[in-house]
Amino acid sequence: MQTAILNINGMTCMGCVTSIKKVLEEIAGVSDSDISLKKNRLRFSMTQKRPI
């Protein structure tokens, strides 16, 4: 399992966080997501290596 950490610009509210979380839930092999609105950061784990 690999973990990715991405900086995300432009998140302004919990609606943004919810939208990103929904998309991540639909991607096979992605788990353990953590989205920080305060830090504008996304961390998630994936079972397969995928292009980002």
Q: What is the pLDDT along the chain (52 residues), one digit of tens a residue?
A: 889 999 999 999 999 999 999 998 898 889 889 999 999 999 999 887 666 6
Q: Does 37 fall in a domain?
A: yes
Q: For position 29, which CATH number holds? A: 3.30.70.100
Q: Does 26 fall in a domain?
A: yes
Q: Does 51 fall in a domain?
A: no
Q: Does 52 fall in a domain?
A: no
- Tell me which residue range forms the domain holding 20: 2-46
Q: Does 29 fall in a domain?
A: yes
The pLDDT value recorded for residue 51 is: 66
Prediction pTM value: 0.76
Q: Does 16 fall in a domain?
A: yes
Q: Does 34 fall in a domain?
A: yes
The pLDDT value recorded for residue 48 is: 74
Asked if 3 contacts 49 with a C-beta cutoff of 8 angstroms, the reply is no
Query: How far from the centroid of its chain's Cα atoms is residue 13's Cα?
Result: 15
